[in-house]
Structure 1
Amino acid sequence: MNRSASTPYEAASAKRRRTVVTPEGIALPFIVGARSARAGALIIDYLIITMTVVAVSLLLGWTFSGLIDRVGDAENLGGAAEFIFIAYIIFLFLARYGYFLAFEMGPRGATPGKRLVGLRVAARDGGRLTAEAVIARNLLRDIEIFLPLVFVLTAPSGEGGPAGIAAMLWFLVFMLFAVFNRDAMRAGDLVAGTWVVEAPRKTLAAALSTEGAARLGSSDITGVEYKFGEGELAVYGEYELQTLERVLRDDKPEAIAAVAETICRKIGWHPGVGDERAFLEAFYAQLRARLEGGMRFGKRKADKFS
């Protein structure tokens, strides 16, 4: 394979490639999401939110009108009108804040918009994406988007005077923060210790999962039979499976050796030196089979912590 040749996408993604060392000492490669992709994801998400708000507003409006027609006067609705109003306020709050929190706290770490453009939120230290980090990055969204837009829209009318213009410029710093740093991080990402990266592919090529010990059942180099028990496979989940897939795809000897050593230490194996890739291929194939089997029965293991 000619590694000097590359597509425009590969050349662009190479500039956004980063490597972080996880808390377990594993060198983990990431590709930072492009700013254009992040903007596209945000537009898709807000379109989804807007359409949902419009649909629910029409539904509640139709319900309210039906109640008025039934009782003849809005003043006679009493508690029903208050209930509809309170439910609508709660819905608007959840639409504005809950949408991003709910999806980014999920096992995929991505909203529908991010998933459509192939992005996800990840911890910058390579560890688990925590609920605290997701909450922190999303609470700053008002400062980064809504407040700058308010000041931009009101500044031309002269409202607020010089103080309003100064505030507009200050909030524009937050809005444009992602443009002026190499990792395209929002201010919320900086505070929360997160970044938005390209989501890894979820399947391996057939050749990758049938090579070496995964196909033969034992190693030609060490003679070790790579058959893992339920307890040994149960220590990892989907996140670790995706990480292992990236390591096998990148095929960097130092990364393969480090990951093999970490897994062996975790599950108590000593397969010998020189056959790390065969060990990882076998572990990957059997872990994937276990996780896919669990998914067929509605059981999912997002990561080693779940």
Structure 2
Amino acid sequence: MKLKRAKKAPTTVVASPGDLSAHHARRSRSLVTPEGVDLHLRLGDAGERAAALLIDLAIIVGVLIAFSLLTLLAFFGAKGKGGDVIATVWMLVFFVLRNLYFVIFELTPGAATPGKRAMGLRVAARNGGRLTADAIFARNAMREIELYLPLSFLIVNNSQVGAWISLAGLLWCGVFLLFPLFNRDRLRVGDLVAGTWVVKAPRRKLVPDLARTSRPSPGRFAFTQAQLDAYGVKELHVLEDVLRRYETKTIALVAARIRLKIGWKVAPEESDGDFLAAYYAALRGRLESRLLLGKRRKDKHDQS
């Protein structure tokens, strides 16, 4: 009598929380801003960046198709007249979509295209400073070499371009498209040239106003106008982020820097958190009152 061999049940491998945390740790980076604030960032992985690029390319193609239909309707509506003008306008729109789509969106305060926003990503400077227009232009200018030029070789008919040139275009495209997979920070060539990287910027729920919820007892801290004029709007935003994160080491470091900057004498039993919360509330009130008078101080270097 033959015994039937029992079939093995398929095994399912489930990633443990430790594996997931290790994955996030590999993507995490510590970045110290010029103000001395230690920020912890998570880099966007290759899959998220590829999905963001596909979304943006789909938007570009969709807009171009819609505009092409409109130009055809305009051409037929004009009974064939003004064809040169219509063709020129179409080429101008194509140029803008191809070369300025990414630049225009990344120049916005969010520093992200619609595709990046959908994936919770944004562009940031690797040195922790301000993301400049030069860096945005540089990283996007490289896209012409990384993507558009090799793809043009593949799209052209083989009768016009030899097989070896098509193969070279395919290899070129593959090297640049896969380049982020072969470096630790998942950087494009454009990111290397511009000194940028793409970081995770998840949407945050609105939290209570720090000026109301974290204000210490009135009269405990009294700052002079000179002490409040030491910083501007940019530093206020950094300080707000520090208070929301409330990491003890960062709180102590920032409090020490501000005290040194404004010449503040530490009172007995004065905590760093209370000091920063009080300074934040006072600085915010000072900047808002100046704004009512039409004066906006961008940062500590702005003498207006």
Q: Matches of 1:36 and 1:251 in 2, distance apart? A: 31
- Residue 272 of structure 1: which of 266, 274, 293 is its match? 266
1:140 aligned counterpart, secondary structure: helix
Structure 1 residue 166 displacement after superposition: 3.9
Partner Cα separation in structure 2 for residue 301 and residue 205 of structure 1: 25
Q: How do 1:165-176 residues align onto structure 2 when only pairs under 5 Å count?
A: 165-176=167-178
Which of these residues, 234, 255, 275, is aligned with residue 260 of structure 1?
A: 255
Distance (whole Å) between structure 2 residues aligned to residue 303 and residue 59 of structure 1? 46
Residues 44-99 of structure 1: CA distance to partner in whole angstroms, max 9, x if unpaired?
2122222211111111211111111xxxxx3xx3xx33322211111111111111
Residue by residue, what CA displacement relative to the aligned partner does 1:176-219 show, whole Å, maximum 9, x if unpaired?
Answer: 1111112111110010000011126556633966555x15345x
- Cα distance in 2 between the residues matched to 1:301 and 1:98: 30
Partner residue in 2 for 1:33: 44
Q: Is the 8 A contact 1:40 1:113 kept in 2?
A: yes
Matching of residues 168-187 of structure 1 within 5 Å? 168-187=170-189
Is residue 2:238 matched to residue 1:236? no
Residues 1:232 and 1:301: Cα distance change in structure 2 (over 3 Å): closer
8 Å contact 1:107–1:302 — kept in the other structure? no
Q: 1:279 to 1:228 in 2, by over 3 A?
A: farther
What corresponds to 2:113 in structure 1? 111
**CA 231–241 in structure 1, closer or farther in 2 if over 3 Å, else same:** closer
Which of the numbers 134, 137, 140 marks the counterpart of 1:135?
A: 137
**Correspondence 1:23 to 2:34:** yes
Aligned to 2:78, what secondary structure does the other structure show?
Answer: helix
Are 2:29 and 2:40, in contact at CA under 8 Å, matched by a contact in 1? Answer: yes
Q: Which of 61, 69, 75 is residue 64 of structure 1 equivalent to?
A: 75
Q: Is the 8 A contact 1:155 1:164 kept in 2?
A: no
Question: How far, CA to CA, are the matches of 2:243 and 2:186 in structure 1?
Answer: 27
Give the conservation status (yes or no) of the 8 Å contact 1:144–1:174.
Answer: yes
Q: Name the TM-score, length of structure 1 as normaliser.
A: 0.74
User: Conserved in 2, the CA contact under 8 Å of 1:155 and 1:165?
Assistant: no
Secondary structure in 1 aligned to 2:250?
Answer: helix
Contact 1:185 1:195 in 2 (8 A): yes
1:204 and 1:245 in contact (8 A); partners too: no
Distance 1:160 1:60, change over 3 A: same
Indicate the SS of the match to 1:176.
helix
Report the Cα distance in structure 2 between the residues aligned to 1:293 and 1:54, rounded to whole angstroms.
50
Residue aligning to 2:6: none
Task: State percent identity of aligned pairs.
Answer: 42
Q: Distance in 1 between matches of 2:204 and 2:236?
A: 9
Unpaired runs of 5+ residues, structure 2, are 1-15
Name the TM-score, length of structure 2 as normaliser: 0.75
Q: Which has the higher helix share?
A: 1
Q: How many equivalent pairs are there?
A: 283
One-letter identity of the residue aligned with 1:253:
T
SS of 1:197's equivalent in the other structure is strand
Residue equivalent to 1:71: none
Q: Distance in 1 between matches of 2:290 and 2:17?
A: 38
2:277 counterpart (272, 281, 284): 281
Which structure 1 residue ranges, 5 or more long, are not aligned?
A: 69-73
Q: In 1, distance between residues paired with 2:86 and 2:211?
A: 55
